[in-house]
A and B are shown apart, each in its own frame.
Chain A
Amino acid sequence: MSRAFAIAANTFRETIRDRILLVILVFALAMIVASLWLASISLGQEARLMQDFGLVAVSGFGVIVAVFVSAGLVRKEIDKRTVFIIFSKPVGRGEFIAGKFLGLSATMAIVVFGMTVFLFLLVWAVAGDPSGWLLVAGGFIYLQVLVVMAVTIFFSTFAAPILAAVLGLCVFAAGQLSHNVLSLTQLGSNVVLEGLSWVVFLVVPNFSAVSLAPVVVGEQVADWSAIGGWGGYLVAYAVIMLGLSWLVFRRKEF
C-alpha cells in the first residue's frame, strides 16, 4: 500500500503544480460577478439564488476538471514514457490505479471544497445567513466527482483521452436522468424494454437519488438515512469502477 501512496503523492504534486487550482480562482471571480448582478435583480433572494446557482457551478466546474484530469491518466504516462519508470519497479497494476485515483481525489478535494467554502463565505458576506447544509452538499458533489473520476479512469484504460472525457461527461449527464430510467422499468407493457431499462438503471451511476439543493434553500427537511445510503452507494460504485479499471489495465502492454 505504501507504493500506492507514493504514486498518490506524486500524482497530487503533479496536478497541483500543473496549476489546476486556478480553476478555483476562475470560479471565485465568476461567483463574485454573479452575486453582484443577482443582488440587483433578485428581489431580496440573493442568498437562495447564490446558493442554488453556486452549487450548480461547483458541480459543473468540479465534474469538468475531474473528467479532464482523469481522461489522460493512462495515455499521458504512456506517451511520456514514465510508465516504464514505474512498472520496471515492483509495482502492481492495481497499486498504480489506486495510487493515481487517491492522488487525483486529494486534488479534487481541494478544488471542490475550496469552491464550496468560498461560496459559503461569499453568501455570508453578501447576503448573510448561509445554510450549513451548503457544506454537506459540497461533500456530496465531491462524492459524485469521485464516481465520475473512477468512470473516466476506467474508460482511459482502453480509450483515447478525448473519448474517455466525452464518455465521462455523458455518464454524468445520464446519471442525472437515472430516475427517468427507473420509471421505464415500471411501464408494465414491454418486458424487453423493462429488462433493458433495469440493466441501464443498474449500470449508470444514480446521481439523482437525493437532491441536497432543496435542503440548502430550506425547501425540504434532510432525510439522514436516504443521504447516508446514497453516500455509501456512491463510494461502492467508485470502488467497482476502479476494480474494473484494474481488470482491464492488468492486461495492458507498454
Chain B
Amino acid sequence: MEREPVAAVSIEGLRKTVTVGFRRRRVEILKGVDLTVGEGESVGLLGPNGAGKTTTLKIALGLMRPSAGTARLGVAGLHEVGYLPENAYFYDYLSGRELLGLCARLFGLSGGARDERIAEALREVGLQDAAGTQLRKYSKGMLQRIGIAQALINDPRLILLDEPMTGLDPIGRVEVKRIIQRLREEGRTVLFNSHILADVGELCSHVAIMRSGEVVWRGPVEDAVPSGGGSLEDFFVQVVTEGAVEPENAGSGSPGVTL
C-alpha cells in the first residue's frame, strides 16, 4: 500500500486569541486557519497587514502557542526547518561567520561538518568575502543574505521566509530572488510571506491569501493569474475586498498542496 506523502507544513483549525490593553480586551487574531504545503512546493502567503500571516508562521515554529488547532512542520520538526524573520536583526558584535557558527551549534553541528556547512551557506548567499566583518557593519541587503544563510545552515528541507524583500534596494531584491529560485530548483519547500505580489507571482507555484485571520483563497498561481489577462494584484485586491473566491480548477489531485 502506498504511504501517504508527508506534508511539509500541516496547519488545521488554527486559532489564536490575545488580550490587549489595560482592560485585557480579547482579540481573535486567527479564526481557524487551514493550510497544507507539500514537499517541494513553493507557496506565497499573502494578505493585508494584520491578516495573521506572521502569527501563523510563529505558531508553526513554536514561538507562540495556539488557542486551538494544530500546526506541524514535517517529520523532524525544527531540525529540518530554516527561518528568516521579518526585518531580521542580529548580534551587533558577531561577524557573519560567528553568527553562522552559533546557528550551526544550535542545530548540533560540530567540527568539520559545521565548518563545511558554514562555508556552503556563505557561498549560497555570496558573502564569503564579508564573513569576517561584524554584522553591525553590514548593509541591509547583506543582513538579509546572512539571514538566509543562517536559515540554510542546517540544510533544511523546509524554509520559511517572512517578508524577505523588505527594505532591499533593487540589486538586493534581485540577489534574494535568485537565492529563492535556486532553493526551489534544489527541491526544497519554500513558504514565504510577502507584500510584493510580483515576486510571489514569479517565485511561487502556489498562493494562499489570508484576510482577518482566515485563509480565504488558496490554489496554484495560474488560477489566480489566468493566461488571458489580469494580474495577481487585481486578483488579490478582489479576494481581499470581496471575500472568498472558488478556484476555477481546484482538485488537480496533486499530492502537494491541498491549499
Contacts and interface: CB of A to CB of B under 8 A. Distances in A.
Query: Are any A and B Cβ atoms less than 8 Å apart in their complex?
Result: yes
Interface residues of B, number: 31
Interface in A1-44: 2-3, 5-7, 9-10, 13-14, 17-18
B108 A88 contact: no
Contacts of A191: none
Contact of A85 (B90, B107, B154): B90
Interface in A70-105: 80-91
Contact of A88 (B65, B85, B89, B90): B85
A202 B107 CA distance: 40
Q: What does DSSP make chain B's interface, helix, strand, loop or mixed?
A: loop
B180 interface: no
A81 B9 CA distance: 24
A13 B102 CA distance: 11
Contacts of B107: 89-90
A9 B102 CA distance: 9
A253 B91 contact: no
B50 interface: no
A254 interface: yes
Contacts of A18: 93
B88 interface: yes
A87 B93 contact: no
Contacts of B79: 90
A13 B94 contact: yes
Interface of B: 58, 61-65, 77-79, 81, 83, 85, 87-94, 98, 102-103, 105-108, 110, 150, 154, 160
Interface of A: 2-3, 5-7, 9-10, 13-14, 17-18, 80-91, 253-254
10 contacts: A7-B102, A14-B91, A14-B92, A14-B93, A81-B87, A81-B88, A88-B81, A88-B85, A90-B107, A254-B64
